[in-house]
Each structure stands twice: as structure tokens, then as C-alpha cells.
Structure 1
Amino acid sequence: MPLQEALEAIDAHNAQDPNHEEVNGNKVPKELLYSQRMTQQLLHFEPEASEALQIAARAQHICRWKSPRDAYPQDRVGYLKWREDLKKMHAELTGSILEGLHYSKEAIERVRFLIRKKMIKKEEESQILEDVICLVFLQYYFEHFASKHPDEKIIDIIQKTWSKMSPKGHRSALKLPLSERTKDLVGKALA
């Protein structure tokens, strides 16, 4: 099964992440965990997701630790450059994996296109991927992130995240099992 082989190859790369998160008492490579959460959320959000979309979701942060944020200037320009370079790196590495599995050039370009997230709001699968990214962030990473910043900044980030999402994404976000503090911040952001 080519899809399963592709997902396993992506997982093999992400399993090398030296950073770990603890889940149920077990240490798991951070990007491996993230990629599995992406797949789980995608299949819940869009059960009929195409093969290209499933691969793009799984590879969204492939080997992200190899390009640390602190290697770039700590300003908005540096942040945007880091994000753009990451998208290119993720797309190229995933493309190389798919080439090794003999995917067609068209299939590889489709996955690269989705990973680069160029057509959010204009292209259905790009929007689905963005919704899933936002849902995974809100469910698994938001609480920790929010604990490090003042509420005003967090409310602004929620508003920016919300603006990237579709109405279907909004409905799904409001059904997530969020903490009371997160629900409160989301409520303030959407007021």
C-alpha cells in the first residue's frame, strides 16, 4: 500500500526528533506525536481525505527540529522567513520520500503544493489542511503556549487563527475538549 509506506517513511524521519513529549507516562518524539495527531484530526474532520492530503497532513512538520526558530532573527520578519523556509523544507523532504516510493510527479507536486499552503481560502484541500493545523494547535498546544504570554497577545493570536479557518473549522473548534481558561480566551477573542 503506497499510502501506508509513505506514512511510515514520514514517521521514520519524525521518530528521529531528539525532542520528546510525555504522553501517558511515555516519552514520544515531539514531531512524531504531532504528525500522528494531524492524521487523527484530519480523518475525524474529513474522513474521505485524499491520499495527497493525508500525506501532507502527516508531513506538515517533518524534521522541523532541524530548523530551529532561534536560528533566525527574533522579530516578525525573522519569524515569517523561518516559517517560509520550513514550508519549503517540509515540501522538499516529503517530495524526496515520495520519489523514493515511485509516486508520480503529479502526486508529488500535489503534496508539495498542499504543504506550502499557498491557496488557503481559495482551494478546498489547502483550507482543510489549514483547519486541521489550527484544530491540532487549539486542542494540544494552545494551553502551554498561552501560559507563556499575556492574555492580550493570546486573544490576538486566537483571532488570527480563527480568521484562517473555514466555518466548518470554526464549528469543529468549538466542539474541542478545551480547558475552561482556553474557552474563556476563545470567547473573549470572538466577542
Structure 2
Amino acid sequence: MSQDTYAKVFHLIDSAHGEDPKKVTVNGKETPYELLYSNKMSNYLEKRDPSASIVLQVAIRAQHLRRWEVPRDSYPMTKVGYHGWRTFLKKRQAELARQMCLDSGFQADEADRVGHLIRKEDLKQDQETQILEDVACLVFLDDQFEQFETQHDEAKIISILRKTWGKMTERGHDLAFEIPMSDRCKELVTKAVSGD
């Protein structure tokens, strides 16, 4: 795969992220949220696997591709609705990314592999899918957990943390303990991990 092909697909992905209407302010600068999210995904991939393949790097960067176009409330606000929404998003995002790869000059098998990873197929058996899951969990803990903690009761938070922890590898756990968190969030993570 040529450097031009790699650069083109990243440009397409980041341009799509740049259209996210949700903005956040970072260091005094307004940034589309999904662009910030995808950069965090890439940064955590560098920590988790510095020698990651290009297809994994692309899948990591494209994991939330155009996610804002299918809001959570477009599905029933139930557990079943949530899982339906997540399943649809994974398939949609995988196909969008696969097409961007083909448009950039990827071989069909490489583009298919990107889609496979974004759909998180063969989790626990496929090492690259597991790395993507580790990275997604790390970005949740880094980027969303502080706000999430204020919106739910302790029992639900601990339940979610235990599920998150169970999806991760030991290397993912080690990196999670390095994330700067408030004392309250650290306390909740400790409770979840220790089983208290």
C-alpha cells in the first residue's frame, strides 16, 4: 500500500469527522467532537500497539464514522433499542469506511479487513479486533467516563465498568490505570475491578 493511498483514506475519514456538528473546546479552540475522538483513538492505539498494521490504524480512526447521523434517540430508549442502535452503527460505519478505503486505492481484501475490524468480529479470537476493543474502552474511560459518572447511580456505573473491564486485555488494564481521573472516578474503577 502506497503512502499516497494511506494519506488519502485518512484525509477522507478526517474530513468526514470534521463535519460533526457537535463541537468541543480544547485549548481554547473549537473542534468537531468526532475529530477529537478519532485522534484519541489513534493516540491510544500508539500506546497499545506502536507497530499496528495500517488496516488497524484505519479501522481505529474510522470507528465512529458519521455516527452523529444516526442519533441514539432514533431507536427505542430501551436496552434492546440500545443494542439495535449499536449493531446498526457498527455495520454502517464499517461499510462507509470500507468504501473510503476502496476509493483511496486499497485492495478489496484490505478494505474488507477494515470493515471486519470496525464490526468487531471474532472478538477475543482476532488479536487486532481485541486491540481495537481495548482502545475503544480506553477512550471511553479517558473521554466519557467523567460525564457518564454524573448521570447514573453507582450500581449502574460499577456494572458498566465491570463489563468494560471484562472486554479488555491485561495490557488494556495497565493502560487504563495510567489515565488521569478524579478521585471519585478512581474510587469507582477500584470498586468495579476489586469486586467490592
TM bucket (normalised to shorter chain) is over 0.9
Q: Which residue of the other structure, out of 92, 96, 100, is the alignment partner of 2:99? A: 96
Query: Cα deviations across residues 106-157 of structure 1 (Å, max 9, x unaligned)?
Result: 1001000000002111110000000000001101111011111111110110
Cα RMSD for the two superposed structures: 0.8
- Cα distance in 2 for partners of 1:119, 1:24 equals 39
The yes-or-no answer on 1:4 pairing with 2:11 is: no
* Overall identity of the aligned pairs, in %: 45
Alignment of 1:40-51 (within 5 A): 40-51=43-54
- Cα offset, 1:180, TM superposition: 1.1
Q: Which runs of 4+ in 1 moved over 2 A?
A: none
1:68 corresponds in structure 2 to 71
The yes-or-no answer on 1:120 pairing with 2:123 is: yes
Q: Which residue of the other structure, out of 24, 27, 33, is the alignment partner of 2:36? A: 33
Per the normalisation by structure 2, the TM-score is 0.95
- Cα distance in 2 for partners of 1:104, 1:185 equals 45
Q: Which residue of the other structure, out of 72, 75, 86, is the alignment partner of 1:83? A: 86
Equivalent position amino acid for 1:95 in 2: R
1:172 corresponds in structure 2 to 175
Q: Which residue of the other structure, out of 151, 159, 164, is the alignment partner of 2:162? A: 159
Q: Which residue of the other structure, out of 59, 63, 67, is the alignment partner of 2:62? A: 59
- Cα distance in 2 for partners of 1:23, 1:169 equals 26
- Cα distance in 1 for partners of 2:185, 2:142 equals 10
* Number of residue equivalences: 191
Query: Cα deviations across residues 45-90 of structure 1 (Å, max 9, x unaligned)?
Result: 1100000000000000011000000000011110001000000110
SS at structure 2 position matched to 1:147:
helix
Equivalent position amino acid for 1:119 in 2: D
- Cα offset, 1:167, TM superposition: 1.0
- Cα distance in 1 for partners of 2:182, 2:122 equals 32
- Cα distance in 2 for partners of 1:33, 1:185 equals 26
- Cα distance in 2 for partners of 1:22, 1:147 equals 20
- Cα distance in 1 for partners of 2:40, 2:179 equals 14
**Which structure 2 residue ranges, 5 or more long, are not aligned?**
none
